[in-house]
Structure 1
Amino acid sequence: MPAQRVLFVKLSSLGDVVHHMPAVTDLARARPGTYVAWAVEEAYVDLVELHPAVAEAFPVALRSLRRRPLSPALWRRLASTRRSLREGRWDFVVDTQGLVKSAVVARFARAASFGLDKASARERAASRFYDVKLTVPRALHAVERNRRLVAQVFGYALEGPADYGLSPAREPP
Structure 2
Amino acid sequence: MRVLIIKTSALGDIIHALPVIDYLRQVSTGVEIDWVVEEPFLPVLEHNPGLSQIHVVRTRKWRKAPFSAETRKDLRALRMELRERCYDLVFDIQGNLKSGLIAWLTGARERVGFTREVAQEKANCLFTTRRIPFRDSDRNVTDRYLRVVSALFGRDYRGMELTGAIVSAPEDEAAAERYRAGLPGGPVILFQVGTTWNTKLWYPEGWSELARRVVARYPGATILINWGSPGEKALGERIAGEVGPAVHLLPWLRIRELIPVLRRVDLVIGGDTGPVYLAAAVGTPTVSFYRATSAATYAPQGKRHRTVQAAMECAACYRTSCDRDGECRRSITVDALFGAVTDLIGQYPNGKDAPC
> What does residue 104 of structure 2 align with?
107
CA deviation vs aligned residue, 1:31-73 (integer Å, no higher than 9, x gap): 1310000111122233222322111001112112224446533
TM-score scaled by length of structure 2: 0.44
Q: State the distance in 1 between where 2:117 and 2:6 align.
A: 19
Q: Does 1:148 align with 2:147?
A: yes
Amino acid at match of 1:51: N
> What does residue 73 of structure 1 align with?
70
> What does residue 27 of structure 1 align with?
24
> What does residue 126 of structure 1 align with?
124
> What does residue 203 of structure 2 align with?
none
Segments of structure 1 that go 5 or more residues without pairing to the other structure are: none
Q: State the distance in 1 between where 2:27 and 2:10 align.
A: 26
Q: Does 1:44 align with 2:41?
A: yes
Q: CA deviation at 1:153?
A: 2.5
Q: CA deviation at 1:162?
A: 4.4
Change (3 A) 1:29 1:125: same
Amino acid at match of 2:115: D
Moved more, 65-74 or 113-122: 65-74
- 2:11 aligned residue (10, 14, 17): 14
Q: Find the structure with the greater CA-based Rg.
A: 2
Change (3 A) 1:101 1:167: closer
SS where residue 52 of structure 2 aligns?
A: strand
TM-score scaled by length of structure 1: 0.86
Segments of structure 2 that go 5 or more residues without pairing to the other structure are: 178-356
SS where residue 54 of structure 1 aligns?
A: coil
RMSD (CA atoms): 2.3
Q: CA deviation at 1:77?
A: 2.1
Q: State the distance in 2 between where 1:105 and 1:61 align.
A: 12
- 1:93 aligned residue (85, 90, 95): 90
Change (3 A) 1:71 1:164: same
Amino acid at match of 1:152: A
Q: CA deviation at 1:132?
A: 1.0
CA contact (8 A) 1:114 1:131 kept: yes
CA deviation vs aligned residue, 1:77-119 (integer Å, no higher than 9, x gap): 2221111112211100110111111011001011111111112
Moved more, 98-107 or 161-170: 161-170
Q: State the distance in 2 between where 1:47 and 1:167 align.
A: 8
> What does residue 164 of structure 2 align with?
164
Q: State the distance in 1 between where 2:168 and 2:24 align.
A: 21
